[in-house]
Amino acid sequence: MNAPATAGARPDTGRPGPGRFLRWDTAVGALLVAAFLVGTGTTDGFSDTANLAAALNDTAEVALIALPMTLLVVAGQVDLSVASMLGLSSALAGRLWDAGWTFETLVPLCLLIGALGGLLNGWLVTRVGLPSLAVTIGTLTLYRGLASVVLGNKAVADFPESYARWASNTETVPGTFVPWPIALFCLLAVAAAIALHCTGFGRALFAVGAQEDAARFAGIRVKRLKLVLFTLSGLVASFAGIVYTLRYGSARADNGLGLELAVVAAVLLGGVDFDGGKGTLGGAVAGVLLIGVLDNLLTLNDISHEIQVIVTGVLLVVSVLTPRLAAVLTARRRRRAAAG
Amino acid sequence: MSTTAPAADGRAAPVLALEGVSKSFGTVRALREVSLSLHAGQAHALAGENGAGKSTLIKILAGVHAPDAGTLTLDGTPVTFSGPADARDAGIAVIYQEPTLFADLSIAENIFMGRQPRRSLGRIDHTAVRSATAALMERLGVDLDPGRVARGLSIADQQLVEIAKALSFDARVLIMDEPTAALTGSETERLFSVVDALRAEGTAVLFISHRLGEIFRLCGHVTTLRDGQLVATEPLDGLTEDDLVRRMVGRDLDELYPKQPTRPGEPALTVRRLTREGVFHDVSFEVRSGEIVALAGLVGAGRSEVAQAVFGIDRPDAGEIRVGGAPLRPGSPTAAVRAGLALVPEDRRQCGLVMAASIERNIGLTGLGKLGRAGLVRRAGERARASDWALKLRLKYDRLTDPVGLLSGGNQQKVVLAKWLATEPTVLVVDEPTRGIDVGTKAEVHRLLSTLAADGLAVLMISSDLPEVLGMADRVLVMHEGRLTAEIPRDEADEERVLAAATGRPHTAGEAA
């Protein structure tokens, strides 16, 4: 189909107009590059491939869960039960391993439980009509509780090296320094980016997040969309539970406690609007990596964990404030231009 | 309230006057050098079509908008209102068509919201609130319990509460914006007797209504606006309804509504015994291809609800919907779109468009499966669809990537139409298609609907704009309190018949007397 010339209107270049502020997700990407360069220049051992592999692998669970979380937040939803699902999946894996299941059979079951947990979240949100924040705060407690029921206070740690090595930072994709969990993350990130930015599914997500009524009136199956998202989120969280278990060689009910906030923080830092309808997957990935790089740098420089948490917090506040501030400034400038 | 004896001929100094007032919104000039004066003890009518500038004028009087040019004088002194609170303090009260009361608060609490009489320690003096409310009700001659919660009050009663609130502010100017649109005959009569009593006490009244009979019943003078300009201010004595219509429209109705002759074909949409409990009952009708069928009625009669049930937004409790002869799965907009239905909803900003999204994204939203292969969206396809329809509907825009929120109301409506016409529907349901859009675009929308119908599209048009209904429709269906009360063919449809059916009154002559 050829695009006809638009008579009576200015030609559409598709480029953003002048005077707009730099996009936040691009800014985070630039910040990531800057942090990387500064780290390389100032901190011995930062740019060693072994350190980079370790730094990347440390973000594996947050990074994986951030992918479906980005889709959720774009659609105006949030899933705070992901870390609990990670714990439940880990506990279940430990319990089943203890009971003599093979790894090949217990993993599918853990993933199934994850998907079902996500489906329950989605069902409560779409059928019962509760806000996702409330629903997933509830299931956050529920899934963590179930994890304790499944494994109690025990820790199961006798996973064989033949499996654990797939999650370690020393076993990398041949010819690169990239650990396998991160390689998988890269594949999934590309898939998620295509889904969000190049498909009808993604277009629908943005519409639902920006204005759910308008999406519904356009014939978009809003409820089904949300069910799919929450199910995906549960599935990925349970998979992250397996990765976590293997990476630390330990299955515990309290694995990944509080991780959901790290995920949400990374996604918001990447410029995804918590109100829904705005954001890019690239931004979210940059947010995850930026936090990972900063944590690694601070650790290498012997700066305490408390300071690391504060740095992340400040970044988050700045990331939420800056776009608002930019909007206010633009509006003021426009008003002045109109007055002058 | 000080009562000044009103001069019968209106020569006394006005309480409130507008002199040469202009107001623009972006490129739309809503008002151009309009003057108006309101006198104590007199009821003044403001007439004009939708989009003539009546709402803008009211909002200027109410302090919502500041005029770009011209002066506002109160008792002969120029004033500027920096907000609605200023206007209220100056004694100007506005009663809107649909009052906005706090549903869970009592009538008394609603009236004294934010300025309740206090006892010691800042505690609200509930006894004083109630007795003051009771006194107001008595003054209005209305029997409403001050302690009753607002939820469940009829619109008529809610308006009376608003009027009581206005009285409690010692309002000297009462502005009523289409207060009778949703009222029954007896409710209207009760409202008018209250207004008559206030007028006798010296209140100046500005009254807006599309029902010309009411203007003649209540008012002494009328100011007519057309396209934002003053047409005339004159006494109603000696005017006829036809005179008033001619001033409002400025041309013959036939010219304004370019209705093309149609040859209705096969039934495209068939609705049988459709019911949603408590909303509408036993609604049956048919729309043939090539036909424009209007669904008229008062606000709250259930028209939009029927449209939304047909489109699958709400699931009906009973009844059957067929599109092109095939039964439609209820409760699924997706199924409705697939069957060839399209709905241009009443609430454009909330339901019709994603305001923050671009023009091309909005137009693409109804064709996400068709814009590429395997679920992928081809950018070029998306853009072509948008620019194609933008051209066909003569959309005025800067860039296709601009958010639709930046467009004027009329152009936004064109985007809604574009996004639905791009699906090549067989049945187009339009809910208040020209509400809040400028006169020029309105005529374009009418021409478009007429052309589409002539090309074989079945159009179901919900409209509260009577001239639009009478000008565009091949058949007029009328709803009253959730039921279809009349089906009137084009050549038998007139204002009086439609209104009679819409208010549930038996059709009698001499309504306007």
Q: Which residues of chain A have pLDDT under 70?
A: 1-22, 335, 337-340
Q: Is B322 helix (H, G, I), strand (E, B) or coil?
A: strand
**Cα–Cα distance, B406 to A93 (Å, whole number):** 54
**Cα–Cα distance, A138 to A150 (Å, whole number):** 19
Class of the CATH domain delimited by A46-322: mainly alpha
8 A C-beta contact, residue B387 and residue A6: yes
Residue of B nearest to A209 (CA): B354
**Cα–Cα distance, B176 to B478 (Å, whole number):** 26
Do the Cβ atoms of B313 and A203 come within 8 Å?
A: no
Strands of the sheet with B458-462, listed across from one edge: B341-344, B427-431, B458-462, B292-297, B475-480, B483-489
Q: Of A188, A164, A169, whose CA–CA distance to A179 is shortest?
A: A169
Q: Concatenated DSSP letters for B140-203?
A: HT----TTSBSTT--HHHHHHHHHHHHHHTT-SEEEEESTTTT--HHHHHHHHHHHHHHHHTT-
- In chain A, residues with a C-beta closer than 8 Å to the C-beta of B365 are 203-204, 207, 214-215, 218, 220
Residue of A nearest to B416 (CA): A218
List the single best residue of A217, A224, A273 to mutate versus B (max B Cβ within 10 A). A217
Q: Of B329, B349, B353, B350, whose CA–CA distance to B341 is shortest?
A: B329
Q: Is A164 left (phi over 0), alpha (psi -120 to 50) or beta?
A: alpha
How close does chain A come to B406, measured CA to CA in Å? 14
How close does chain A come to B355, measured CA to CA in Å? 8
- In chain B, residues with a C-beta closer than 8 Å to the C-beta of A8 are 394, 396
Strands of the sheet with B267-276, listed across from one edge: B280-288, B267-276, B318-323, B326-327
Domains of chain B and any CATH numbers: 16-101+154-250 (3.40.50.300), 104-152 (no CATH), 251-340+426-434+442-513 (3.40.50.300), 349-424 (no CATH)
Nearest CB to B365; choose among A199, A218, A221: A218
Do the Cβ atoms of A214 and B353 come within 8 Å?
A: yes
**Cα–Cα distance, B207 to B177 (Å, whole number):** 6
8 A C-beta contact, residue A237 and residue A289: no
Do the Cβ atoms of A217 and B356 come within 8 Å?
A: no
- In chain B, residues with a C-beta closer than 8 Å to the C-beta of A9 are 390, 395-398
Amino acid found at A124: L
8 A C-beta contact, residue B404 and residue B355: yes
- In chain A, residues with a C-beta closer than 8 Å to the C-beta of B313 are 216-217
Amino acid found at A274: F
**Cα–Cα distance, A215 to A200 (Å, whole number):** 12
Q: Rounded to 5 degrees, what are φ and ψ at B211?
A: -90, 105
**Cα–Cα distance, A152 to A162 (Å, whole number):** 26
Which residues lie below 8 Å from residue B286, measured CB to CB, with a gap of 6+? B267, B269, B270, B271
Alpha helices, H only, B181-285? 185-200, 212-218, 241-249, 253-256
Tokens encoding B233: 């201010």
- In chain A, residues with a C-beta closer than 8 Å to the C-beta of B369 are 200
Do the Cβ atoms of B365 and A4 come within 8 Å?
A: no
Which residues lie below 8 Å from residue B114, measured CB to CB, with a gap of 6+? none
The pLDDT of residue A283 is 95
Residue of A nearest to B356 (CA): A210
Do the Cβ atoms of B353 and A201 come within 8 Å?
A: no
8 A C-beta contact, residue A319 and residue A28: yes
Do the Cβ atoms of A203 and B333 come within 8 Å?
A: no
**Cα–Cα distance, B431 to A340 (Å, whole number):** 41
Q: B43-47 and B204-208: which strand pairing?
A: parallel
B219 CA to centre of own chain: 22
Q: B221-226 and B204-208: which strand pairing?
A: unpaired
User: Within 10 Å of residue A194's Cβ, how many Cβ atoms?
Assistant: 15
Do the Cβ atoms of B351 and A194 come within 8 Å?
A: no
Do the Cβ atoms of B398 and A16 come within 8 Å?
A: no
8 A C-beta contact, residue B106 and residue B146: yes
Q: Rounded to whole angstroms, what are the CA distances from A260 to A140, A209, A267?
A: 9, 20, 11
The pLDDT of residue B373 is 75
Q: Of B177, B124, B213, B72, whose CA–CA distance to B505 is shortest?
A: B213
Q: Of B179, B190, B185, whose CA–CA distance to B155 is shortest?
A: B179
Which residues lie below 8 Å from residue B325, measured CB to CB, with a gap of 6+? B266, B267, B270
**Cα–Cα distance, B56 to B409 (Å, whole number):** 14
Which residues lie below 8 Å from residue B161, measured CB to CB, with a gap of 6+? B99, B101, B107, B110, B111, B144, B150, B153
8 A C-beta contact, residue B271 and residue B285: yes
Nearest CB to B384; choose among A3, A194, A219: A3
The pLDDT of residue A6 is 35
The pLDDT of residue B121 is 81
Tokens encoding A175: 């010819």
Do the Cβ atoms of B357 and A199 come within 8 Å?
A: no
Maximum Cα interatomic distance, chain B, rounded to a whole number of Å:
78
Interface size between A and B, measured as CB pairs under 8 A: 119
Q: Of A203, A191, A238, whose CA–CA distance to A83 is shortest?
A: A238
Residues from A contacting B (CB-CB < 8 Å) are: 1-4, 6-10, 12-14, 16-17, 194, 198-204, 206-207, 210-211, 213-221, 277-278
User: Within 10 Å of residue A321's Cβ, how many Cβ atoms?
Assistant: 10
Q: Residue B406 class from Cβ within 10 Å (0-12 exposed, 13-18 middle, 19+ buried)?
A: middle
**Cα–Cα distance, A237 to A64 (Å, whole number):** 8
The pLDDT of residue B27 is 67
Nearest CB to B387; choose among A6, A198, A211: A6
**Cα–Cα distance, B477 to B460 (Å, whole number):** 10
- In chain A, residues with a C-beta closer than 8 Å to the C-beta of B372 are 200
Nearest CB to B381; choose among A1, A8, A213: A1
Do the Cβ atoms of B356 and A277 come within 8 Å?
A: yes
Nearest CB to B354; choose among A194, A214, A221: A214
Per-residue pLDDT of chain B (513 residues; tens, 9 = 90+): 444 444 444 457 899 999 999 998 776 788 999 999 999 999 999 988 766 888 889 999 999 888 999 999 999 899 999 888 889 888 998 888 777 788 889 999 988 887 788 888 888 888 888 899 998 888 877 888 998 988 888 878 888 888 888 888 888 999 998 887 767 777 788 889 889 988 998 999 999 887 778 899 999 999 999 888 899 999 999 888 778 877 887 765 555 677 777 788 899 999 999 999 989 999 999 999 999 999 998 877 899 999 999 999 999 999 999 999 999 999 999 999 999 999 999 888 889 999 999 999 999 999 887 877 777 888 899 999 999 999 999 888 889 999 998 887 888 999 999 999 999 999 999 999 987 776 667 888 999 999 999 999 999 999 988 888 998 999 999 999 899 999 999 999 988 888 888 877 665 444 433
Q: Rounded to whole angstroms, what are the CA distances from B6 to B10, B14, B90, B204, B446?
A: 8, 10, 20, 10, 45
The pLDDT of residue B7 is 42
Name beta bridge partners: B272.
Answer: B320
State pTM to two decimals: 0.77
**Cα–Cα distance, B31 to A198 (Å, whole number):** 45
Terminal C-alpha separation, chain A: 45
Name beta bridge partners: B77.
Answer: B74
- In chain B, residues with a C-beta closer than 8 Å to the C-beta of A214 are 350-355, 365
- In chain A, residues with a C-beta closer than 8 Å to the C-beta of B357 are 206-207, 210, 277
The pLDDT of residue B50 is 64
- In chain B, residues with a C-beta closer than 8 Å to the C-beta of A200 are 368-369, 371-372, 375-377
Nearest CB to B399; choose among A12, A198, A220: A12
Nearest CB to B350; choose among A4, A214, A220: A214
Strands of the sheet with B204-208, listed across from one edge: B77-79, B69-74, B16-25, B28-38, B229-235, B221-226, B43-47, B204-208, B173-177, B92-95
8 A C-beta contact, residue A249 and residue B366: no
Q: Of A8, A239, A212, whose CA–CA distance to A117 is shortest?
A: A239
Do the Cβ atoms of A200 and B375 come within 8 Å?
A: yes
